[in-house]
Structure 1
Amino acid sequence: MNSLHSTERFSDRVADYVRYRPDYPQALIDWLRNEHGMTADWQVADVGAGTGISSKLLLDAGLTVTAVEPNAAMRAAAAAWLDDNPRFAAVDGRADATGLTDASVDLVTVAQAFHWFDPETTRREFRRILRPGRPAAIFWNSRRLAGTPFLEGYEALLQRYGTDYTSVAERYADDATMQAWFGTGWRSTARFEHKQRLDFDGLRGRLMSSSYAPQPGHPQHEPMITALHALFERCQQDGRISFDYDTRIIVGTFH
């Protein structure tokens, strides 16, 4: 992805992103505490923080968080949501140029954004801003593509109507790739189940938060929403569907 494409492609979807994107399971925080010694006095750089969903999780755990986000609209949404917390700040920066000082943070987190970054320049920047021996944690919600009629129908819908779905969707690295990226600094990997229970409005908003979903006015938009409604009606139970994820996290340090 070129930089403009990757940093600006969500600008017109911020409202849906804030309302309908999933959060992350509390088990992830517990695991970082128990397995990697994370404590409430750690300073965190949440890189590619978007609208602040991951920053909120970290703030709720008592951490001090600097959200690093190049997209102005998403950064403004994070600030509007979280600026009343004195342990939060949002800055204009990129994974390869955070603007943070050398050895200034105890943890770098990247939630749902690593696939937009250049691996080599990002590694150098993370090594620069982390205090010696402190970790980086890369995590994401990976939507399950199969296992229920809804999940399989939703994947088929995206394949049919998504504007550039096959080139950008679910491009998260596998464990072996991430272990190679950390190299000898790789420490551990974990996986947690996570889900959203969505009514139709929530499902539609979740779809429209995706950068490959055609917007109103696009010739594919109305047929896509019609197909989504039909899928919902086939699969809903008590007015909701289960939107299922595997939350994956990989932690390592840099030498």
Structure 2
Amino acid sequence: MSRVILALLGVILLAVVALALLWLLGQVMVGVGAFVVGTAAVLSRLLWFLIVTGVLSGLVYFVASAWRPAARIATPGVPSGVRLDTAATAFAVPAPAGGPAQSTAQGRPPEHAAPVSAAPAAAPAGPAADHPARFDGRAGVYAAARPGYPEDLGTWLEEAGLLDAPVADIGAGTGLFTRLLLASGATVQAVEPNPDMRAQLLTALADAVQAGRLTVHGGTSEATGLADAAVGLITAAQAAHWFDPEPTVAEFRRVLRPGGRVLLVWNDWRGVERPFNRAYGEAIRPFLAAGTPDVATRVPEDRLPALLPGGFERREFTHEVTLTRERLHALAASVSYLPGPDDAGYPAMTRALDDVFDIYALRDSVTFGYRTHAFLGSVEEPVT
């Protein structure tokens, strides 16, 4: 009898254990279900949050994008007394004139020097065609911000003996290339038509003037004011694409000594493949004077044979310039086809420049790359 009772108790205990296990399994399943449901709820809320955030971010970006270009595309100002079509013509590489062009003044190009040469035949006459006047009031920022020239170029000229005789630097501007000539041992006669530029040059290089190594006076490529056979080398840095070839070549032949040479130089940032160079070009694009064409390089390749009819050789040099935020502003302000500090478009342009500066600046400065193109040749017709 006792065995039967014990067997019954064993069956009851097994049943209780089985029921307990079933209850426990049910609780686990309920917990898992609650976890799954809770997780799904959290994920659902997270998904809605992402959707709402994305929509709001898109709206903010759209509003910001619609607002900022309106400031950047503000009409760039043009120096007083300069028509927009004249500024555009000055930036473009002028085609050779079909006949004697009206003499204006010669000097620096709009990008790195004061344009002071004869204008293309299509350029308007009168004050609007007075290219040097476009740089009135910009000589200070020009002298402070524009790049110099690589020392290797001066070394080449010195070692070739081209600086042994006096040198005429035509369109000398504020003296950026004149400095290189003097540092390489040359005696220089600087010719520059813009009074503000000449004043900057005289102030910066007063020691050379006092030492008798430098003289400075007004003049153009067509009328330098130099004596016959006065120099052994004529240089023109950032200026020669403004020269009217026929009268310029005649004048150069007059002032050069027998066997004298001509050196034409362009300092160009466009052909240098650097991220900041590209970013700078895009930043200033909306502020170019109306009608200003886009060019890949400042070098007027097609005009070189007319300017150097006796043939020429080509050298290239590379160098870098470090720009602070302030110097970057000044560099753009010194360019004739961009807004100057007194123009309505200047604040928007500086904001655009600040945007790219903040992206590329390293230790509060950016590096701007330049390629210097030098053409050494003769104005004497080749003997056949």
Is TM > 0.5 for Structure 1 vs Structure 2?
A: yes
Gaps of 5+ in 1: none
- Equivalent residue number for residue 108 of structure 1: 234
Gaps of 5+ in 2: 1-89, 91-101, 105-128
- Equivalent residue number for residue 16 of structure 1: 141
Distance 2:261 2:272 in 1: 33
- Equivalent residue number for residue 314 of structure 2: 189
4+ runs deviating over 6 angstroms: 168-171
Between 165-174 and 63-72, report the one with greater CA deviation. Answer: 165-174
Distance 1:59 1:146 in 2: 28
Distance 1:252 1:146 in 2: 25
**Normalising by structure 2, what TM-score?**
0.62
Cα pair distance change 1:208/1:57, threshold 3 Å: same
1:32-71 correspondence to structure 2 within 5 Å = 32-34=157-159, 36-39=160-163, 41-71=164-194
Distance 1:172 1:147 in 2: 15
Q: Render the CA deviation track for 1:48-94: whole Å, top value 9, x for unaligned.
A: 00011111111111111010011111011111111321201101111
1:67-86 correspondence to structure 2 within 5 Å = 67-85=190-208, 86=212
Distance 2:287 2:194 in 1: 26
- Equivalent residue number for residue 247 of structure 1: 372
Cα pair distance change 1:74/1:168, threshold 3 Å: farther
Q: Render the CA deviation track for 1:106-151: whole Å, top value 9, x for unaligned.
A: 1100011112221221111111100011101000201135623321
**Native 8 Å contact 1:7 1:70 kept in 2:** yes
- Equivalent residue number for residue 158 of structure 1: 284
CA RMSD of aligned residues (A): 2.0
Q: CA deviation at 1:169?
A: 7.2
- 92, 101, 125: which is aligned to 2:251? 125
**Native 8 Å contact 2:158 2:184 kept in 1:** no
Between 142-151 and 152-161, report the one with greater CA deviation. Answer: 142-151
- Equivalent residue number for residue 132 of structure 2: 7
**Normalising by structure 1, what TM-score?**
0.91
Q: Render the CA deviation track for 1:157-197: whole Å, top value 9, x for unaligned.
A: 222112258259777334453145312x2231100001101
**Native 8 Å contact 2:271 2:371 kept in 1:** no
Percentage identity across paired residues of the two chains:
37
Q: CA deviation at 1:216?
A: 3.3
SS in 1 for 2:185: coil
Distance 1:109 1:134 in 2: 11
Distance 2:168 2:292 in 1: 31
Distance 2:183 2:143 in 1: 17
Distance 2:284 2:308 in 1: 32
Q: How many residues align structurally?
A: 252
Greater C-alpha Rg: 2
**Native 8 Å contact 1:6 1:116 kept in 2:** no
**Native 8 Å contact 1:114 1:172 kept in 2:** no
